[in-house]
Structure formats: C-alpha cells, structure tokens
Amino acid sequence: YKESTKNGGVNIDDYRGVWVFAEQREGKTLNVVRELLGEGRKIADELETELSAVLLGHNMEEEADLLIKYGADKVIYVDDELLDVYTTDGYSKVIFDLIEERKPEILLIGATNIGRDLGPRLSAKVHTGLTADCTRLDVDKENRRLMMTRPAFGGNLMATILCPKHRPQMSTVRPGVMEKAKLHEDHEGVVEVVKPNLKAEDIKAKVVEVVKSDKPVVALEEAPIIVSGGRGLGNEEGFKLIEELAEKLGGVVGASRATVDTNWIDHSHQVGQTGKTVRPGLYVACGISGAIQHLAGMQDSKCIVAINKDANAPIFEVADYGIVGDLYEVIPELIQALDNV
C-alpha cells in the first residue's frame, strides 16, 4: 500500500487529532464553526484525541479565545494580514503546510461557499479523499475511521463513505445539520499563534473589492420558526400570505424548490437537498407535497405542521400536526387565531 499511495507512503498511524476549519468573515467565525466544534468534540472524545480549531485571519485574538470556550483543546491561530480575506491560494497553502507538519487524522470544513472551494483544493494537494456535503458523521473507533454520510442519487439514498488509506479524512459538512457546541466559560485550552510561510506572490488571485449583496440575507439556518410555501400557493402573490403568517409567528419565510424554479421567490429561501438544511423549533409547510429532496432539508425540525389539501401528501408522514384543507382558508384562520392570542 505504501507504493500505491501518492503522498509518499503515509503511515496512517502517524496521524492523530481532529481539526475543525474555523471559517471567518470580517473577523467573526461563522455559526457552522460552532456546529463543527460540537460534532468534532464528540469524535475527538470517542477517538481519545485532541480537538483543534484552525483559524486563519488577522487581529482575531478574541475570536481565538472564544473557540476554546466552544470546546477546542487547541486553537492553531495563523495570524497574517494576507489571511484577512479568504483566497484559495493563500488558505490552501497555509493549511497544507500545517497538515504536512502536524498530521491530523480528521479535518472538518463547513460546506459553505468558501468551504466548498477550499476542501477540494486542499484534499487534492495532500492526495487524500474528500466527502462533500455530509449530513452525518460516525466513528468506527476500532479502525479510527470516520464514516461520512451524505445524500446520493438525488437524495434517494444515503451513502456512507470511508477514506481507509489516506489521511487526513476530510469532510465538508452542511451548515445547520449538526448540533452547535455550547459555550463553557471555564473550558481550558491553548491558543497557539503561528506565523505562516506566505508571501503576497503566493496568492495569484487578488481580492480587489468585496461587494456585498443588496438582497436581504435570510438566516434560515438560524431561525427558530420557519413558514414555508410550496407550489400549492398557486402564484407568487401567495407568498404574501406566507410572509404574514411568518411575521405573526416571529419566523422567517422558507420555500420549496418548485417555487424557486418558477421565480416566485429567491433561491436563498429554498429548503432542501439543493437548498438549506434547517432544524427549527417549528416548521410550517404550506402547499408542499413533501418530496424526499425537500424532506432532506427539514425533517429534523422539532415540530412540523403541514397544511395541504391532499390527505395523502407525503408531507403528512413527517408532520407532527397535519391540517387537511385549502391553505387559502386555513392560513387566514390561523392568522386570525394568533391575533386573538
């Protein structure tokens, strides 16, 4: 096997420790980092090894300390002006150097836009595999293997993928799926500040300007309550009713892909396999049939309420409360009832 592997014949027993990539934007780590720390902690405990967060940025000491309180045993904080803003070249070089030097056995990255760019680049550089867009991670303790599960074949089955011969075992993990690590003020750990071997010439693509989208950001993954509309709304106008109910409940608006494809609503609202994965306290599905690709994004919600005029719609199979009826009759009644609360 030594000859067959491209990375110079790695001995997988040389690799130890679980790493989490602590993605940051404008000096703040993303929520997905807390999710990865929560999951990483469980994996590290099971393998009886250390959990480290890898933070790249500039002037982020406070954020580094915070990662310890979220359960990291160690924060490898690479501080450099060149790492302030993400670049594929800069970040992949720095993390590649760290992997070569310190040999982690597992590296978890959030499946964000940046994570989806960084993960493949990095795995190709270190000649290891990458399981993208995982929704579940388990550990085979005896063999120190990470069992990485993700939807496959259009969400019709779940595939569990192993990386038996190469290290690190790399996975990008969908935001919103894993439980967030809790803050423990007294959790102890070490922040190690590292100066990278990085020059401006190493970064071929220069970030000239960061232009923020003027569309309002829908924080679907964060929302405790989501009211989603589907094709059953009949038209774009129908979303006004969904918005009204969402507002009354203090929630945000979600959508099925059918409504996004017909341009009734922006893609940022889409829930499901090719949209966002959510697990709010309350998910209200209105005029949504419950296709497997939609369920993949919301079935872990704590309480699901479905409104559909077809009593046989599959959404009722996952619903805690089902209302069989026309949404244009049911929702106004719900709104009126909420007004009277």
Q: Where does this chain bind ligand FAD (CB under 6 A)?
A: 154, 230-232, 256-259, 270-275, 287-289, 291, 293-294, 297, 307-310, 313, 326-328
- Residue whose entry in the numeric block shows the structure tokens 């000649």: 127
Q: How far is the CB of 239 from ligand FAD (least distance, A)?
A: 12
In the complex with ligand FAD, which residue's Cβ is closer, 64 or 298? 298
**157, β-bridge pairs:** 152
Phi/psi for 174 (5° steps) reads -60, 130
287 is in an annotated binding site: yes
Q: How far is the CB of 212 from ligand FAD (least distance, A)?
A: 25
Instruction: Rank residues 171 and 289 by Cβ distance to ligand FAD and give the closer one.
Output: 289
Q: What is the largest CA-CA distance in the chain?
A: 73
d(CA 216, CA 65) in angstroms, rounded, equals 31
Beta strand pairing call for 24-25 and 130-134: unpaired
* Smallest gap from residue 218 Cβ to ligand FAD (A): 14
Instruction: Confirm whether residue 271 is marked as ligand binding.
Output: yes
CA atoms within 13 A on the CB side of 159: 11
Run of H or E residues at 174: none
Q: At closest approach, how far in Å is the CB of 330 from ligand FAD?
A: 7
Residue 113 CB, nearest distance to ligand FAD (Å)? Answer: 17
Does the annotation list 291 as a binding residue? yes
Between 12 and 288, CB nearer to ligand FAD: 288
Q: Which is nearer to ligand FAD, 112 or 259 (CB)?
A: 259
Q: Is 213 annotated as a binding residue?
A: no
Q: Which two tokens stand for residue 292?
A: 């497997």
Q: How far apart are CA 293 and CA 91, in angstroms?
A: 33
Which residues, 6 or more positions from 63, have their beta carbon under 8 angstroms from its beta carbon? 22, 24, 27, 28, 29, 55, 57
Q: Annotated binding residue at 136? A: no
Q: Judged by CB, which is closer to ligand FAD: 110, or 232?
A: 232
> Toward ligand FAD, which CB reaches closer, 107 or 227?
227
DSSP 241-275: HHHHHHHHHT-EEEE-HHHHHTTSS-GGGBBSTTS
Q: Report d(CA 111, CA 172) in Å as an integer.
A: 5
Q: State yes or no: 297 annotated in a binding site.
A: no
**CA angle 91–50–2, rounded 5-degree value:** 70
131 is in an annotated binding site: no
Least separation in angstroms between CB 48 and ligand FAD: 38
* 272 is an annotated ligand-binding site residue: yes
Q: Annotated binding site for FAD: which residue ranges?
A: 231, 256-257, 270-274, 287-294, 308
Q: Annotated binding site: which residue ranges?
A: 231, 256-257, 270-274, 287-294, 308
